[in-house]
Chain A
Amino acid sequence: EVQLVESGGGLIQPGGSLRLSCAASGFIVSTNYMSWVRQAPGKGLEWVSLIYSDGSTYYADSVKGRFTISRDNSKNTLYLQMNSLRAEDTAVYYCTRERYSGPQGGASDIWGQGTMVTVSS
């Protein structure tokens, strides 16, 4: 079965760090575009970061310089390292597989169940 399973969320103080993991099954992470999308409580969806199959990475301005997307091909797992966390980073974080690629991105056909990150003192 093709699926994504996130983990690593939790309660963290402002300024702290957290690493989210997204384990994939049924397909190979490194041959796909993979992204992170977040959703603050009661709000809409916000694209956070993207990694191409060639390893190129992209970030939303709101997280640039603080978050790092990466993958471990041997574990078929995607990561999001989040540093200098702020209250406004509080959200459910989803990892997604992007397919049907356009010029620079793709439509997300597979989504994980999401992991909640709460930044609060």
Chain B
Amino acid sequence: DIQMTQSPSTLSAFVGDRVTITCRASQSISSWLAWYQQKPGKAPKLLIYKASSLESGVPSRFSGSGSGTEFTLTISSLQPDDFATYYCQQYNSYSGTFGQGTKVEIK
């Protein structure tokens, strides 16, 4: 099975900061990677698919990059609504493994 490792597990930042989250796959997944945002008590929301494609309706301050085994999610200017937990997920194989999550907290 493909393992996904996110870093950091927790990130403290100020409103307006540029934030980067990293996700590494245990083997190449080409560009078959998605990023989700989850707020407490809510279902996850798709932000990015195919590593760098922005889902409709998602603000342009979110961007994704990478291919193969290393990927990043960047928030160009952190907004109050962005404090949440972020997950990566590979969908190269049918078992869509998730990373363990990165919690973005207010500093």
Contacts and interface: CB of A to CB of B under 8 A. Distances in A.
A103 B43 contact: no
Contact of B46 (A35, A45, A107): A107
Interface residues of B, number: 27
Interface stretch (A7-15, A83-91, A111-119): A111-119
A98 B91 CA distance: 10
B43 A47 contact: no
A47 B92 contact: no
B97 A47 contact: yes
Nearest to B6: A44
A68 interface: no
A112 B42 CA distance: 10
Nearest to B48: A107
A113 B45 CA distance: 11
B98 interface: yes
Nearest to A57: B94
A2 to B, nearest CB: 12
A72 B87 CA distance: 31
B98 A50 contact: no
Contacts of A98: 91, 96
B55 interface: yes
B60 interface: no
Nearest to A35: B96
Contact of A47 (B46, B96, B100): B96
Given A44-B87, A94-B43, A104 B98 contact: no
Nearest to B87: A45
A111 B55 CA distance: 14
A105 B38 CA distance: 21
17 contacts: A44-B87, A45-B36, A45-B89, A45-B101, A47-B96, A50-B96, A61-B1, A98-B91, A102-B92, A104-B92, A104-B94, A105-B92, A105-B94, A107-B50, A108-B96, A111-B43, A114-B43
Interface of A: 35, 37, 44-47, 50, 58, 60-61, 94, 98-109, 111-114
Closest 10 CB pairs of A and B: A102-B32, A105-B91, A107-B34, A111-B43, A107-B49, A104-B94, A100-B49, A45-B98, A58-B94, A47-B96
